[in-house]
Amino acid sequence: MLPTAPSDPALRELRVDGRPVMYTSEGRGEHVVLGIHGCPGSVRDFRWMGPCLAPDVRFVRVDLPGFGQTPLRSFPDPSFGGRADFLVRLLDALEVDRATVAGHSAGGPLALELAAAHPSRVKALGLIAAPGVTPHRAVRKYARRKWWSRALRVPILMQILGIPLRNGFESSGFPKGLPAYTLRQSIHIVAQFDFERTRRNLAKVACPTLVAWAQDDRFIEDSISRELAELAPDGPRLVFAEGGHYVQKHGAVEIGAALIELARA
């Protein structure tokens, strides 16, 4: 279900390692839900969930470096381990000891990495339309993603590949006009996908975990989401017949209620 309207609170600036990071904060209280978008993505990917979470909890969304309004120079490392460590420093800057971390799409394995590497900082997890332990159709489509990542670091190849890269993202339904560095960073992140690492992280994590997905997701098959739901720690399982890859919009009310329950437990 959808709330009556989305929320778009003003962006705020935070300094992490002395560099700017943009985020939003709504709601209040001791219980914090941190929203981590996919790639490409931004704080707007959770705009329909804001009204469902606030004021019951404090809902913080972050533009990860290279996305939205956070410059890539704030943390250019695309690795999941490095970005998980970055999120710890982000939580420190926010003065948040523990949070329920909700990751959408490629934000899912990043949230899982954070929980596996820094279990004391994660109270509960939300994996929303997240990749699992088996390559999904969107990744299989770009089997040469590691080659693309290497090529996009060579200046002359970066220029040559710029147009087909943009065409590929736009034909997949992502917004037009995204900065070139955002598209390149998305490829660098996708090239870091390690499905066996995801499996190992799932085995390490013990915190309650929500898994939510839509059966009509054109990027991640229903079977892969079901496999993820079987392997993840106990917690709510929300499957929607419709909602596509951005199920946090169409299932905002149900997903928000589950996250509130996890955060306040």
pLDDT per position as a tens digit, 3-16: 999 999 999 999 99
d(CA 110, CA 6): 25
170-181 as b/e: b if 16+ CB within 10 A: eeeebeeebeee
Domain 12-136+194-264 has CATH 3.40.50.1820: yes
Where are the chain's structural domains? 12-136+194-264
Could you give the count of Cα atoms lying within 13 Å of 86 in the half-sphere of its Cβ? Answer: 26
Structural contact between residues 256 and 49, judged by C-beta atoms closer than 8 angstroms? yes
Give the confidence band of 93 by pLDDT, cuts at 50, 70, 90. very high
How far apart CA 14 and CA 64 sit, in angstroms, is 12
Bond before 164 cis per omega within 30 degrees: no
pLDDT on residue 207: 98
Residue 133: half-sphere exposure toward Cβ, Cα within 13 Å: 15
The Cα-based distances of 122 to 85, 88, 112 in angstroms read 13, 10, 9
216 Cβ contact partners less than 8 Å away, ≥ 6 residues apart: 241, 242, 243, 244
CA distance linking residue 155 with residue 205, whole number of Å: 40
Amino acid at 19: R
Please name the residues in contact with 144: beta carbons below 8 A apart, sequence gap of 6 or more. none
Cβ neighbours for 235, distance < 8 A, ≥ 6 positions apart: 124, 125, 208, 209, 210, 211, 262
d(CA 220, CA 135): 9
What pLDDT, in 10s, does the model give residues 151-179? 999 999 999 999 999 999 999 899 999 99
What integer is the mean pLDDT of 233-238?
Answer: 98
Give yes or no for a contact between 188 and 64, defined as CB atoms under 8 angstroms apart: no
pLDDT score of 142:
75
For 92, the token pair is 């420190």
User: Confidence class of residue 143 from pLDDT cuts 50, 70 and 90?
Assistant: confident
